[in-house]
């Protein structure tokens, strides 16, 4: 699985927004989802830097 796909699956569970606005919910969720993927994907790609010493054999 690519880091982008993992970010799509895991991102919304790790980060979410709390909004009471009554705007277009679909548009808002699409925008927020893209932002979340943009944050989570680099963390996955560079996990060894963010979480050093976590290797198990």
Note down pLDDT in tens along the chain; length 57 residues.
999 999 988 888 887 766 666 666 677 677 778 888 999 999 999 999 988 886 666
Its domain, for residue 39, covers 1-12+25-52
Total of domains in the chain: 1
Range 16-35 burial, b when 16+ CB lie within 10 A, else e: eeeeeeeeeeeeeeeebeee
**Per-residue model confidence (pLDDT) at position 39:** 92
**Per-residue model confidence (pLDDT) at position 43:** 93
**Per-residue model confidence (pLDDT) at position 57:** 63
**Per-residue model confidence (pLDDT) at position 20:** 61
Is 44 contained in some domain?
yes
How far, in Å, CA of 22 to CA of 35, rounded?
20
Is 57 contained in some domain?
no
Helix/strand/coil for 50: helix
Is 34 contained in some domain?
yes
Is 20 contained in some domain?
no
């Amino acid at each position: 699985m690519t880091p982008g796909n993992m970010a799509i699956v895991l991102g919304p569970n790790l980060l979410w927004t709390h909004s009471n606005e009554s705007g277009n919910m679909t548009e808002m969720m699409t925008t927020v989802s893209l932002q979340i993927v943009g944050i989570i994907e680099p963390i996955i790609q560079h996990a060894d830097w963010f979480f050093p010493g976590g290797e198990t054999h």
